[in-house]
């Protein structure tokens, strides 16, 4: 029982390596001690140790879910805590799978177990978690180094590859703790190699500066109730008009997700006027907008759109939607029930394609909210773009860890492609992120301000931009082939 408590505590300190704390050595220590705990001789139920480690990790790491459910879902404290706990418990099953597989593939060589087997299994589970049930790529280990001087492997191997490097480093520390002289020497050497290579590679520039651009990010800071009202829209409309009026030649203005809550057809004269003024200045404005597709008595279908105005007059419709948040799974089967009950349904439709926005020398890789967490989705447009822009509305998560963690994920995408990333949100955290994942400028949470900045468009690609996750997939595949070979050889020996 005591070991389960240790696992719970080790899991609970894991998120301290991520935003808003950024104590990334603690994540390394958490993983290293957990590997050490797994290898204790009296531990037979590895899957339970994994579950409790995951429960500690997710209970702290996604505590922002409670804020969203209780304060904005108008659900009681008890029910909100229960739902958050159940979600954390569900995610903990991934760690149960991790530790079960570890006990299955475990070899007689502790060096291999710590530095190869455990890291490969962890990264495999991260990848599965990022895709299964629409995916939840949150608290990916590699993201903890974004914006630090040790993020050098991320532009080469991506966030999963960085996870592997960190996990192998943790395995080295575990080997050192085992106090076997031969292992201590090689593990220390390997750990230093990972450290020095990460630091050295971070200095290398895969992309090159091109054109300079003046940018203005607007954070309206409207409450959720106000945001979806006509009064709220009028406030945003006034901000947009002011932004366009003071803009100069070639400026880029960015407003957050669904800043414009009306369809373009409903405000056509105003849109025409805004476009005209921007084109005269050869300027651009990007804003989230609602685009209606069809309407009947009980069902409203719409797109969550990333809309460009002025010379950047094109759009992108969000393709990776949040289940239950933006659409109801099995809607075709539930629609009849909703009709009988007289319940209106608002459903967001997925975009038909993943496309960039282009105007002159500007080529924008767009994403909306949660999409920024999916590295392969962003790569599809980032590799042909010279600027990444993500718009979001994190008001749902209040002053919890959520907005800061979301920002850190955006930093990882900037680092993977070594291109500037602009992040505009309704209530924070809006930021200008440099190509090394560092935050150049930012706005605080629940502040109504504009964020001005001069940025560079960057040309060229990182290795990750070109090949994506292919390298890490090949490494994982070859490792599994080796592990199965070892397993089979050991079986035939006896």
- CA distances in angstroms from 425 to 84, 255, 449, listed in the order given: 24, 7, 11
23-34: pLDDT as tens digits: 999 999 999 999
Q: Calculate mean pLDDT across residues 431-445.
A: 97
Token pair 């492997």 is at which residue? 153
Does the pLDDT of residue 471 top 90, yes or no? yes
The distance in angstroms from the start CA to the end CA of the chain is 33
The lowest-confidence range among 107-116, 155-164, 457-466 is 107-116
pLDDT attached to residue 341: 42
pLDDT attached to residue 179: 67
Angle at 187 between CA 158 and CA 184, to 5 degrees: 160
Q: Which residues is 208 bridged to in the sheet?
A: 459
CATH homologous superfamily of 208-317+354-461 equals Carbon-nitrogen hydrolase (3.60.110.10)
329-383: pLDDT as tens digits: 655 555 554 454 444 556 788 998 899 999 889 999 999 999 999 999 999 999 9
Q: Calculate mean pLDDT across residues 57-86.
A: 93
Is residue 442 classed as helix, strand or coil in its secondary structure? Answer: strand
Does the pLDDT of residue 237 top 70, yes or no? yes
pLDDT attached to residue 108: 87
134-153: pLDDT as tens digits: 999 999 999 999 999 999 99
Does the pLDDT of residue 73 top 90, yes or no? no
pLDDT attached to residue 342: 45
What is the token pair recorded at 272? 């025409």
pLDDT attached to residue 340: 46
Does the pLDDT of residue 408 top 80, yes or no? yes
Q: Where are the alpha helices (DSSP H) in 383-450?
A: 402-417
pLDDT attached to residue 333: 56
Mean pLDDT for all residues in the chain: 92
Does the pLDDT of residue 295 top 80, yes or no? no
- CA distances in angstroms from 259 to 12, 324, 443, listed in the order given: 36, 21, 17
**117: pLDDT confidence band, cut at 50, 70 and 90?**
very high
pLDDT attached to residue 43: 64
Q: Calculate mean pLDDT across residues 272-301.
A: 86
Name every residue whose Cβ is closer than 8 Å to that of residue 309 and which is 6 or more positions away in sequence. Answer: 271, 274, 275, 278, 284, 285, 286, 287
**299: pLDDT confidence band, cut at 50, 70 and 90?**
low
pLDDT attached to residue 175: 92
Range list for CATH 3.60.110.10 in the chain: 208-317+354-461
């Amino acid at each position: 029982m005591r070991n389960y408590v240790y696992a719970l505590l080790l899991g609970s300190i894991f998120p301290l390596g991520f935003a808003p704390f950024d104590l990334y050595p603690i994540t390394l220590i958490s993983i290293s001690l957990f590997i050490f705990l797994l290898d204790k001789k009296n531990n037979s139920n590895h899957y339970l140790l994994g579950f409790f480690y995951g429960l500690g990790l997710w209970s702290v790491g996604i505590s922002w879910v409670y804020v969203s459910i209780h304060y904005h879902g108008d659900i009681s404290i008890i029910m909100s805590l229960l739902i958050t706990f159940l979600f954390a418990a569900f995610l903990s099953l991934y760690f149960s799978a991790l530790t079960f597989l570890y006990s299955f593939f475990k070899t007689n060589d502790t060096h291999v177990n710590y530095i190869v087997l455990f890291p490969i299994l962890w990264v495999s589970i991260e990848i599965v978690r990022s895709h299964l049930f629409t995916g939840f790529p949150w608290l990916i280990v590699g993201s903890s180094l974004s914006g630090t001087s040790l993020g050098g492997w991320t532009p080469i191997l991506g966030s999963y590859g960085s996870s592997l490097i960190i996990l192998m480093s943790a395995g080295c520390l575990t080997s050192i703790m085992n106090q076997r002289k031969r292992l201590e020497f090689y593990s220390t050497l390997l750990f230093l190699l990972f450290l020095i290579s990460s630091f050295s590679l971070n200095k290398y520039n895969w992309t090159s500066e091109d054109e300079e651009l003046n940018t203005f990010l607007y954070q309206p800071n409207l409450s959720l109730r106000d945001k979806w009202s006509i009064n709220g829209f009028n406030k945003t409309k006034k901000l947009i008009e002011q932004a366009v009026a003071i803009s100069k030649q070639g400026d880029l203005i960015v407003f957050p997700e669904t800043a414009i809550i009306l369809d373009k057809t409903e405000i056509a004269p105003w849109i025409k006027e805004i476009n005209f003024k921007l084109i005269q200045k050869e300027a651009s404005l990007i804003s989230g907008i609602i685009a209606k597709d069809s309407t009947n008595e009980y069902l409203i279908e719409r797109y969550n759109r990333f809309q460009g105005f002025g010379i950047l007059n094109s759009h992108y419709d969000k393709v990776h939607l949040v289940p239950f948040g933006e659409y109801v799974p099995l809607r075709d089967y539930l629609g009849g029930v909703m009709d009988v009950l007289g319940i209106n349904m608002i459903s967001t439709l997925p975009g038909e394609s993943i496309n960039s926005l282009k105007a002159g020398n500007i080529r924008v890789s767009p994403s909306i909210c949660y999409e920024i967490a999916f590295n392969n989705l962003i790569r599809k447009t980032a590799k042909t773009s010279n600027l990444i822009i993500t718009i979001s509305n994190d008001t749902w998560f209040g002053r919890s860890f959520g907005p800061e963690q979301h920002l850190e994920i955006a930093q990882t995408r900037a680092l993977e492609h070594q291109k500037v990333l602009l992040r505009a949100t309704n209530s924070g955290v809006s930021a200008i992120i440099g190509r090394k994942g560092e935050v150049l400028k930012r706005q605080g949470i629940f502040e109504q301000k504009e964020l001005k900045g001069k940025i560079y468009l960057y040309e060229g690609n990182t290795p990750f931009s070109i090949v994506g996750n292919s390298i890490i997939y090949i490494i994982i595949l070859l490792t599994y082939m080796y592990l199965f070979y070892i397993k089979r050889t050991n079986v035939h020996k006896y």
